[in-house]
Amino acid sequence: MTPTRELLRRDAAYDRWGEPGAGEGLGPAAEAMLRERIDPGEPCVSVPLEAVDVAPATVLPDAVVAACGGEDAVSTDDEDRIRHAAGKGYPDLIRMRSGRIESAPDAVLAPPDAAHVAATLAACADAGVAVVPFGGGTSVVGGVEPERGGFERLAALDLTALRAAAVDPVSMTARLGPGLRGPEAEALLNSEGFTLGHFPQSYRYATIGGYAATRSAGQASSGYGRFDDLVTEVELTSPSGTLRTLETPHTAAGPSLRELVLGSEGVLGVITDVGVRVRPLPDRRRYEGWFAPGFGEGIDIVRDLAQGGELPDVVRLSDREETRVSLAMSGIEGIKRSGLDTYLRLRRRSDGCMLIVGWEGERDAVERRRQLTTGMLRARGAVPLGASAGESWERGRFEGPHLRDVLIDHGILVETLETAHAYARLVELYAAVGDALAGAIGSGGGRGVVMCHVSHVYRDGASLYFTFLTAARTGSEIEQWRELKGAACEAIVATGGTITHHHAVGRDHVPYMEPEVGALGLDVLRAAKERLDPAGIMNPGKLLK
């Protein structure tokens, strides 16, 4: 049998989102837009992996190595340690590129199954070894930061080997191992005629365990539901033992322990098995572009769709800025840019907002739902851009993080953050966060772009996803990032929005958990942690402090 440490993945770049060379470069239109809107930054190049400065590893106790499955299940290779030393947030990439990472795990543990996870956690608790559970490593909020929490030794616990899968076609459920990446899980399900329907932007690398631990939301969340909506049962392996919820469509047996495990971000234990609802593989997918008169009007439109029960499976509404930038960066294939301008001007939508809508499922149902929604879109003043705009979105749906790599290469600070609120306060939240980001960029003396979209729509409210760009301050990018991120978070908290709709808390949002759940709420979460992880070894510094 292959030693599990040889399963550890090295296919993505250590200092970028994806595999080296992935993604498309900036076209001339995008280059021009950047020159026009943003002060030029200094190109940002990476040190080679061999030159990354990593402290020597402290040796883990033999009992930990034995519990994990022996030497075959443990790597102390520097490349593996570096690859498990950060997630994929902007500060993570900057640290990797500079070659100055603050900390790295002393070893990467690759237990072959849940029983070895349990033994490993017990041994680590005994020996005082901190543990960072590691799935796809795609956290953008410092969720896999190798913080030691006062312990001398730290291990990353990589779930790659836990990739079992079993489908129940009658109940339309599946049990999936936490180490399965999005495309791996999807391929397994597709081969039996099903889909999970969960496509976050991190899809190519993120894992089932990570989806569950962070309450991920996919691009088709309006149709399929957020990941936490899909979960029917879950197993948490903690230092105190294993907690498993029943396989049942619903229960009234007390507070939901499933909902305590979901979102627990590795601080209570390791998610070692996930049961999910799956759907029949759609025989039809249709995505379309529309132009709404404005962002506020667009929000009213998607609200009407949601509240009327006619929500498409994919809904994405860009504000004016994101619409302009998207068109400048990529255009819409199939519609000549100049022709589009004329078309929109004639329809008085030159200043409008791009709305992507999409349906997936059985052919007749897609067509029926599409007709209902599009009739309503026309009635509310939206104008169609046709399927080509939708297909253009579809082709680029996982490309955002690759584009971020290219922008960072160009010396640009680029970051995203997200929140959500009830409709009654959504526009207020949009303005507050946008103003805070623009103000922080301006007070740093720079120019920039702040843009936003709505991509997760509910009956009572929606998410807001912000992207902001400005020239990076070379050498102090992380301080600069902290100022901008902090300004946005303060604005979110002041307006009563949630600090995170789907990126999770990680390390970056820890200071905002008290406004989110209150001091007593934090205390209750800490009480649960003390029971499951009395030694406090699990993912120090994340979620709760």
Applying the rule CB under 8 A, the residues between 212 and 241 that interact with a second copy are 214-217, 226, 228, 232, 238, 240-241
When asked if residue 242 is in the footprint of a second copy (CB under 8 A), the reply is yes
When asked if residue 499 is in the footprint of a second copy (CB under 8 A), the reply is yes
| Cβ-based neighbour number of residue 32 at 10 Å | 12
Cβ-based nearer residue to a second copy, 71 or 460: 460
Q: Among 65, 104, 513, 535, which residue interacts with a second copy (rule: CB under 8 A)?
A: 513
- Cα 330 from Cα 332, distance rounded (Å): 6
Q: State in angstroms the smallest separation of the CB of 111 from a second copy.
A: 20
Q: State in angstroms the smallest separation of the CB of 352 from a second copy.
A: 22
Cβ-based nearer residue to a second copy, 348 or 526: 526
Q: Among 165, 257, 344, 376, which residue interacts with a second copy (rule: CB under 8 A)?
A: 257
Q: State in angstroms the smallest separation of the CB of 525 from a second copy.
A: 6
Q: State in angstroms the smallest separation of the CB of 457 from a second copy.
A: 9
Please give the residues from 145 up to 184 whose contact with a second copy meets the rule CB under 8 A.
168, 170-173
When asked if residue 496 is in the footprint of a second copy (CB under 8 A), the reply is yes
* Strand (E) or helix (H) holding 301: helix 295-307
Please give the residues from 466 up to 495 whose contact with a second copy meets the rule CB under 8 A.
none
Please give the residues from 335 up to 394 whose contact with a second copy meets the rule CB under 8 A.
361-362, 365
| Cβ-based neighbour number of residue 256 at 10 Å | 12
Please give the residues from 301 up to 330 whose contact with a second copy meets the rule CB under 8 A.
303, 307-309
Q: Tokens for 149, please give them.
A: 């929490």
- Cα 196 from Cα 194, distance rounded (Å): 7
Please give the residues from 107 up to 126 whose contact with a second copy meets the rule CB under 8 A.
none
Q: Among 77, 126, 259, 483, which residue interacts with a second copy (rule: CB under 8 A)?
A: 259
Complete edge-to-edge strand list for the sheet that includes strand 153-158: 74-75, 107-109, 153-158, 129-134
Q: Which stretch binds a second copy (CB under 8 A): 12-20, 123-131, 437-445, 515-523?
A: 515-523
Q: State in angstroms the smallest separation of the CB of 44 from a second copy.
A: 29
Q: State in angstroms the smallest separation of the CB of 215 from a second copy.
A: 4
Give Cβ neighbours of residue 348 (< 8 Å, ≥ 6 apart): 293
Q: State in angstroms the smallest separation of the CB of 15 from a second copy.
A: 26
Binding pattern for the stretch 523-542 against a second copy, x by CB under 8 A and - elsewhere: xxxxxx-xxx----------
Q: Which stretch binds a second copy (CB under 8 A): 66-74, 86-94, 210-218, 447-455?
A: 210-218
Compute the half-sphere exposure of residue 42: CA atoms within 13 Å on the CB side of its CA: 7
When asked if residue 202 is in the footprint of a second copy (CB under 8 A), the reply is no
Query: What secondary structure, in 3-state letters, does 190-238 show?
Result: HCCCEECCCCCCCCCCCEHHHHHHHCCCCCCHHHHCCHHHHEEEEEEEE
φ, ψ for residue 466 (rounded to 5)? -100, 140
Q: Which stretch binds a second copy (CB under 8 A): 58-66, 256-264, 398-406, 478-486?
A: 256-264
When asked if residue 245 is in the footprint of a second copy (CB under 8 A), the reply is yes
**Vertex 280: Cα angle to 374 and 162 (nearest 5):** 125
Binding pattern for the stretch 452-471 against a second copy, x by CB under 8 A and - elsewhere: ----x-xxxxxx--------
Q: Among 271, 500, 537, 540, which residue interacts with a second copy (rule: CB under 8 A)?
A: 500
Please give the residues from 383 up to 402 whose contact with a second copy meets the rule CB under 8 A.
none
Q: State in angstroms the smallest separation of the CB of 269 from a second copy.
A: 10
Q: Contact at 8 Å (CB) between 178 and 162?
A: yes
Q: Tokens for 323, please give them.
A: 């619409």
Cβ-based nearer residue to a second copy, 215 or 410: 215
* DSSP code string of 315-372: EEEE-HHHHHHHHHHH--TTS-HHHHHHHHHHTT-TT-EEEEEEEEESHHHHHHHHHH
- Cα 209 from Cα 196, distance rounded (Å): 14
Q: Which stretch binds a second copy (CB under 8 A): 52-60, 154-162, 254-262, 315-323?
A: 254-262
* Strand (E) or helix (H) holding 464: strand 461-471
Binding pattern for the stretch 18-57 against a second copy, x by CB under 8 A and - elsewhere: ----------------------------------------
- Cα 258 from Cα 238, distance rounded (Å): 14
When asked if residue 201 is in the footprint of a second copy (CB under 8 A), the reply is no
# binding residues, a second copy (CB under 8 A): 91
- Cα 468 from Cα 415, distance rounded (Å): 6
Q: Among 81, 324, 421, 485, which residue interacts with a second copy (rule: CB under 8 A)?
A: 421
Cβ-based nearer residue to a second copy, 42 or 460: 460
- Cα 374 from Cα 377, distance rounded (Å): 5
Cβ-based nearer residue to a second copy, 106 or 228: 228
Q: Contact at 8 Å (CB) between 91 and 481?
A: yes
Give Cβ neighbours of residue 466 (< 8 Å, ≥ 6 apart): 416, 417, 418, 433, 434, 437, 450, 451, 452, 488
CA-nearest of 141, 238, 160 to 505 is 141
- Cα 344 from Cα 386, distance rounded (Å): 13
